[in-house]
Amino acid sequence: MIYLAQLRVQLEHSFSPLACECSLTGDSSLTVKLYHRETGQVDLVVSGLSIASLRTPDAVRALIEELRYELESNSLHRPETS
């Protein structure tokens, strides 16, 4: 199982410049929030993830790919304009 701090760092690295918040609920499910550090605007929140399933680096990579898909599919996500 991965520690939340390690997971947060990996997610922030994968989704830079977005920041990440990971929280664990009483039933051991994980919530991940990806947001803009400066504005606080939330781009994605996913709840109910199984922390027990994140036992291997491959499982974490699969989570990152799933979150990337969800972020790209999110109708509220808009690319930043210059």
Which residue from 24, 21, 51, 19 is spatially nearest to 33, judged by alpha carbons? 21
Write down the pLDDT at residue 28: 82
Residue 76 lies in a domain: no
Residue 78 lies in a domain: no
CA angle in degrees (0–180, nearest 5) for 71-51-9: 60
Domain that holds residue 41: 4-71
CA distances, 3 to each of 30, 31, 43 (Å): 11, 13, 23
What is the C-alpha to C-alpha distance for residues 33 and 22, in angstroms, rounded to an integer? 7
Residue 79 lies in a domain: no
pTM given for the model: 0.80
Residue 10 lies in a domain: yes
Number of domains within the chain:
1
Write down the pLDDT at residue 20: 93
CA-only gyration radius of the chain, Å? 13
Residue 38 lies in a domain: yes
Write down the pLDDT at residue 82: 47
pLDDT digits (tens, 9 = 90+) for 37-56: 999 999 999 999 998 888 88
